[in-house]
Amino acid sequence: DREIVLAVVRRNGLLLAHAADELRADAEVALAAVETHGAALAHAAMALRADRAVVRAAIREDGAAFEFAAEPLRGDREFVLEALRMKSVSNGYTGKRRRRELILAATDALRSDRVFMLQALRSLHDVFVPPNLFVLPQSLREDRDFAFAVAREDGLALVHFAEAIRADREVVLAAVSQCGMALNSA
């Protein structure tokens, strides 16, 4: 019965997992579930996991819920950047971890996009410190232009790039100009 399921998921969204498929595909039921427990998004029908309003509500409740969003949203640059700015993702120490998790949940194609990754890393506030750089895919660790842009903002980040990048004169100069200690990583 729809009304019973609605009442149940309003108290504990994770119980959406036990609802009938047609109720998991009901936008009102899924929205009620994710508003009480963001991770309930994992149990919503795939169409609703691609619904911006439902996914936003899930992320608002629990920033980690983004990992359950459908691939089209996880690959949508503007949506991911919007999610990175949400309070549930951006507040406090756990916010930093949540932002890294959200970036990791983005599609590989999006994470390989230089412009997106610079924007996403900047959203971490302390930008290129070591825990944040583990989100970089190997393709960007070997990307000279990306490394140059990063080195201009945080020279110490040079250590996280491929050996060939760390030997590149222009990249090293950019890094050292930002922070003299970057020379230790060249």
Confirm whether 8 is domain-assigned: yes
Confirm whether 180 is domain-assigned: no
pLDDT at 93: 60
pLDDT at 18: 98
For the chain, the average pLDDT equals: 90
- Domains identified in the chain, total number: 1
Confirm whether 184 is domain-assigned: no
In angstroms, the Cα distances linking 132 to 23, 100, 179, 183 are 39, 7, 18, 21
Confirm whether 146 is domain-assigned: no
pTM of the model: 0.81
**Lowest mean pLDDT across 89-103, 112-126, 146-160:** 89-103
Confirm whether 43 is domain-assigned: yes
pLDDT at 21: 98
Residue 43 identity (one-letter amino acid): H
The residue segments making up the domain with residue 49 are: 2-113
Confirm whether 127 is domain-assigned: no
Summarised one tens digit per residue, pLDDT across range 129-172 is 555 667 788 899 999 999 999 889 888 888 889 999 999 999 99
Confirm whether 80 is domain-assigned: yes
CA terminus-to-terminus distance, the chain: 65
Residue owning tokens 């690959």: 75
